[in-house]
Amino acid sequence: MIKEYYWNYINYEGLKKALKTGYVTEPTPENTKPDRKAWTEDDERHFVTLLESELDKVFKFQQYKSEEIVRRIQESDKDVDDVVTRLNNSNEARNSGRSSINPPSDEEFLMLEQVLSDIIADVHDLAKFTQLNYTGFQKIIKKHDKQTQWHLKPVFAARLNAKPFFKDNYDAFVVKLSKLYDLVRTKGNPIKGDSAAGGSQQNFVRQTTKYWVHPDNITELKLIILKHLPVLVFNPSKEFEEEDSAISSIYYDNPETWELYEGRLKKTEGAEAIRLRWYGGMGSDQIFVERKTHREDWTGEKSVKARFSIKEKNVNDFLAGKLTVEKVFEKMRKEKKKSEAEIADYEQLAREIQYRVITRKLVPVTRSFYHRTAFQLPGDARVRISLDTELTMTREDNLDGRQRSGKNWRRMDIGVDWPFSQLPPEDVERFPYAVLEVKLQTQAGQEPPKWIRDLTASHLVEAVPKYSKFIHGTATLFPDRINLLPFWMPQMDVDIRKPASRHFGIQRPWTSTSLSVNDTPEDDEDTDDELDDGRNARPQRGSANGGYEQTALFEEPDGNALDIEERIAAQPLPGDEDYPLYDSDDESFDSDELEEARRVGGTYYYKQLAKYYVHRVASGGFELVKALIPRPMPTNIPAPEQNGIAVMGNKRTIKKFQAPKGKRIHVPIRVEPKVYFAAERTFLSWLEFSIMLGTVAAALLNFGEDYITFACSWAFTILAALSLIYSLMLYIWRVDKIRKRRDVKRVYYEKWGPTIIGLGLVAIMLVNFGLRVRQSGFTRKEPSPGYPVPGTPSNGTIPGGRDDL
C-alpha cells in the first residue's frame, strides 16, 4: 500500500469483521470457538451498505487522482512547449545574426524531467492502487458468498460496472508522457524520421526475443520503457484513439493437412506462414499480404518477412486467382513512386503467395487481434520494442458445418470490439498475458543496451522463446484437429508473476514516500483462496500449498538471462540426468502414435497396432527378466505432489508434463546437416570396428590348427555380425528420429550396444586365455632327440665342463 493513499484503500479488515456474526453461546475454555449466529437479512443489508461506501470511496479517489494527473500533464505540456519555443527562437536568432534571446538552461530541462518523472511515478502508483483495490473487492465478495451462502457476486458485478474505477485506460497517459519526456530528454531536439519505421520496407530482418507480461505489470512496463524510447505514433497530428493501436491478422492454412502450422511449429527449413493484416478498425482499406519464411542458422540466411499492400475490395479476387498480379501493381507502376526493381520484387512475391494459396488450398483458419504499443526512435529500427495487450484469437474457418467467414477472406461479425463477447466460447481464445517483443538490429558482437538487458532479466517479464500467436491460437481453437502442441502449453497453468529480485522499476526523482510491498498477506482463514478471475486463479510460485517457487529459476541473479529450456539443461537434477521434462522420451511405440494411426485407419493402423503389442510384450518380458535377476533394489519413494518445476531453497523437483491423450508436446530441436553427418560418422566407426573383428576371425579360422582357435574364430565372427546388424539398425533408427525432430535421448546416448560388445570381447579373451593355460599348464613336453635335458651331465662328465654343449 502507498502511504499517501492509505485512507483511500478498501477497508478490507473492516469488511471481514462485518462478515462475522455473534456467537450462539459465549466462548469457554473447553469451547473457544462456538458456532456463530445465522446470517440474517439485517446483516446482509449492513454489509452491502459498508461495501457500497467503500466502492464509492475508491471510485471517487481514483477519479480525483486521474483528473489531477491530466491537469499536471497539461501544465507540463505548456512548460515544455514554452521551453522548446524559447530554444527554437534562440537558435533562429543566432543563425540570422540577430540579438540573442536567452536560451533555456540545462537546469530547466533537468527540472522538467524530474517533474515528468514524478508524474510517471504517480501514474504507476495509481495503476497499482487500482489493481490492489480490484483484487480486494473480488476477494471480499468471494469470502462473503462462501461464508454466508448469500450470493452477492452477480448483483455486485453490476455495481462495479456502474463505477468502473478498474477500467481506466492509461494508454493515453503513456502516449502523451512519452512525447513530453522525449522532448525533455533530448533537450528539444527529438530524433525525426519516418514514423512508420519500416512500414515502407518490403523485407524485415531482425533478431527478436519474446516475453509474457502479467496484466498487473503492463502499465509499469510501459512507463519504464518510455523513459528510454518514445512511443511510436504513426500519425502525430491526430489525437490518440484506442482503435489506432489495434492490429488484426488472418492466418491461412490447409485444414486437412495443417502443413503451415506444423512447419512453423517444427521450424523446418523454408517453413512459411501466410497472413493478411490490417491496422485500425474494419474500415481500413489497406490490407497487407505477408509471408514469413523460416531459415535455419546453418544456411547462413536469416528468417525474413516480406509483404505488399492491396486494396480490401481486391483481396477475394486476388486470392482466387481472378485478379492478375500485373493488375494489382498497375497503379503503383503508373505513379512511379517505386523503381522497376522494387515493383518486380513485389510482383514476384505476389505470384508466389497467390500460387501457394490456390495450389495448397489455403483458407482462413485463425485471426489474432491485439492493441500494440510500439516504442522506437522514428526512422531508427535498431531497437524496437512492442507490447501487445488484449491479445485474442478467433476462428475464421467454415469447419464443423458453421459458416464463419463464408466465401469471404475474413469473417465480418466481429471487428475491434474486444473482448468479442458476442462469440461462443469455442470460437474465441482470450490470451491471459501481454506479449513483449524486443527486436534488435545490432552489429556482430555488439551487446544490446544495458537497460534492455536489465528489463528482460527483471521480474516484470517471463521469457518464452519462439512464441507464436498463430501457433497458440490454432492449437487452442482446434483441439479436435491439432495433435502436436507447442512446448509452452504446460506453462499456461503456471502463474508467471515473480517477486522483485532486486530494486528495479519506477523510481521517483526525489525520496519516494511509497511504502509499497510486493506481496499482500493472505487472509488468516482462507490462505488458499483463489480469485475467480482466470488470470489470477493459477497456482502461485512459492506458495505453501505445493505451487511454484516465486524466485528466478535455480536462484539465478538474472532470471531471464537464459530461457527456461537452457536453464533446465544447464542444471539437471543430481543423479537423475535422464529424466525427461516433456513426455517425448519413449514415443516410438507410445499410445500417441496409436491414436494417430487409429484416425488414419486401414492397414496402417493394424501395422502400428501389431508393432505396439510386440513392443509391449518385449518390454514386459525384459522387465520380468530384470525383476528375476538378484540385484540390489532401490527404495520406492512416493511421487512429489508438485507440478512442473518447484524450487524450494536448494531442493528442486521436476514432474513430467503429460500431454492430453492422443496429443504430443513438440519440443524445439535444432537439426542441422552436421547432425546427419555425425550420425553417419558414428555408423562408420561401428562398421570399422565390425570389419576389424571380422578380420581377426578370418585370420584365426584360416591359420588355426586346433579346436580352441576354431571356437574363438566363430565367437569373433558372431560378435562382428551382431555388431554390424546392431549398428545398421541403430543408424536407421537415429536418422528417422532426427528427421522427425523427436526429442529422444537415445539419439545421442547409447549405453547397451558398447556395453554388450565390450563384455563380449572380454569374455572371448578370458575364455581363450583360460583354455590355452589349461592346455599347456598341465602337460610336460618331452625333450627332442640329440639335445640333453637341461641340468643333467653330458657323456658322464661334470655339468659345466668343456664337453658340456
Alpha helices per DSSP H over 267-328:
315-320, 325-328
Q: Are residues 610 and 749 in the same domain?
A: no
Residue-wise pLDDT for 406-435, tens only, equals 889 998 888 888 888 889 988 999 999 999
pLDDT of 465 strictly over 60: yes
Residue-wise pLDDT for 775-803, tens only, equals 776 554 455 454 444 444 444 444 444 44
Q: Which helix or strand (DSSP H or E) is residue 291 part of? A: strand 286-293
Which range marks the domain in which residue 755 is found? 673-775
Give the list of residues 6+ apart from residue 217 with CB closer than 8 angstroms, or none. 460, 461, 497
pLDDT for position 633: 63
Q: Are residues 128 and 226 in the same domain?
A: no
Question: Which of 483, 507, 531 is the endpoint of a domain?
Answer: 507
pLDDT of 480 strictly over 80: yes
Asked if residue 187 belongs to a domain, the reply is no
Residues 254, 180 contacting (CB under 8 angstroms):
no
Distances, alpha carbon 163 to alpha carbons 142, 144, 145, in Å: 19, 20, 21
Q: Are residues 657 and 695 in the same domain?
A: no
Question: Which of 653, 668, 683 is the endpoint of a domain?
Answer: 668
pLDDT of 193 strictly over 60: no
Q: Are residues 386 and 251 in the same domain?
A: yes
Question: Which of 178, 195, 216 is the endpoint of a domain?
Answer: 178
pLDDT of 298 strictly over 70: no
Q: Are residues 259 and 376 in the same domain?
A: yes
Residues 5, 125 contacting (CB under 8 angstroms):
yes
pLDDT of 638 strictly over 70: no
Q: Which residue has the higher pLDDT, 677 or 192?
A: 677
Q: Are residues 164 and 66 in the same domain?
A: yes
**Confidence grade of residue 39 (pLDDT, cut at 50, 70, 90):** confident
Asked if residue 323 belongs to a domain, the reply is yes
The two beta strands, 380-395 and 363-377, are antiparallel
pLDDT for position 794: 46
pLDDT of 230 strictly over 60: yes
Asked if residue 596 belongs to a domain, the reply is yes
pLDDT for position 73: 86
Q: Are residues 415 and 494 in the same domain?
A: yes
pLDDT of 563 strictly over 50: no
Q: Are residues 44 and 173 in the same domain?
A: yes
pLDDT of 720 strictly over 80: yes
Active site residue 17: no
Q: Summarize the confidence of residues 383-401 as an average pLDDT.
A: 89
**Confidence grade of residue 543 (pLDDT, cut at 50, 70, 90):** very low
Measure the CA dihedral 658/663/668/669, to 10°.
Answer: 100
Q: Which residue has the higher pLDDT, 667 or 110?
A: 110
Residues 541, 547 contacting (CB under 8 angstroms):
yes
What radius of gyration do the chain's Cα atoms show?
37
602-628 vs 591-600: helix crossing angle, rounded to 10: 160
Asked if residue 317 belongs to a domain, the reply is yes
Q: Which residue has the higher pLDDT, 295 or 669?
A: 295
Residue-wise pLDDT for 483-494, tens only, equals 888 888 888 878
What's the rounded Cα separation, in Å, for the pair 548 and 569?
19
Asked if residue 373 belongs to a domain, the reply is yes
pTM (whole model) above 0.85: no
pLDDT of 643 strictly over 80: no
Q: Are residues 392 and 472 in the same domain?
A: yes
SS3 content of the chain, % helix, strand, coil (to 5): 45, 15, 40
Residue-wise pLDDT for 194-229, tens only, equals 444 344 444 444 578 899 999 888 888 888 888 888
User: Which cell numbers hold the place of 401?
Assistant: 458445418
Which range of 379-383, 473-477, 738-742 scores highest in mean pLDDT? It is 473-477
Q: Are residues 149 and 264 in the same domain?
A: no
Asked if residue 188 belongs to a domain, the reply is no
Report the percent of the chain where pLDDT is more than 90.
Answer: 10
Residues 360, 364, 368, 369: is their CA dihedral positive or negative? positive
Q: Are residues 489 and 567 in the same domain?
A: no
What residues pair up with 213 in beta bridges, in sequence order?
434
pLDDT of 476 strictly over 80: yes
Asked if residue 189 belongs to a domain, the reply is no
Burial 463-473 (b: 16+ CB within 10 A, else e): bbbbbbbbbbb
Other Cβ atoms within 10 Å of 92 Cβ, number: 11
CA angle 102, 236, 460 (to 5 degrees): 95
How many domains are contained in the chain? 4
Which range of 592-596, 653-657, 707-711 scores highest in mean pLDDT? It is 707-711
Q: Which of 210, 222, 469, 737 is catalytic?
A: 469
Q: Are residues 277 and 369 in the same domain?
A: yes
CA angle 316, 322, 323 (to 5 degrees): 80
| CATH number assigned to the domain comprising residue 216 | 3.20.100.30
Amino acid at 303: S
Give the list of residues 6+ apart from residue 473 with CB closer than 8 angstroms, or none. 251, 366, 367, 368, 393, 394, 429
Residue-wise pLDDT for 575-598, tens only, equals 334 333 343 334 444 555 666 666
Residue-wise pLDDT for 13-36, tens only, equals 888 888 887 666 676 777 767 777
pLDDT for position 565: 38
Residue-wise pLDDT for 270-282, tens only, equals 888 999 999 888 8
pLDDT for position 364: 93
Q: Which residue has the higher pLDDT, 95 or 124?
A: 124
Asked if residue 792 belongs to a domain, the reply is no
346-355, 358-367, 369-378, 541-550: lowest mean pLDDT where?
A: 541-550
Q: Summarize the confidence of residues 737-743 as an average pLDDT.
A: 70
Other Cβ atoms within 10 Å of 578 Cβ, number: 12
pLDDT for position 248: 92
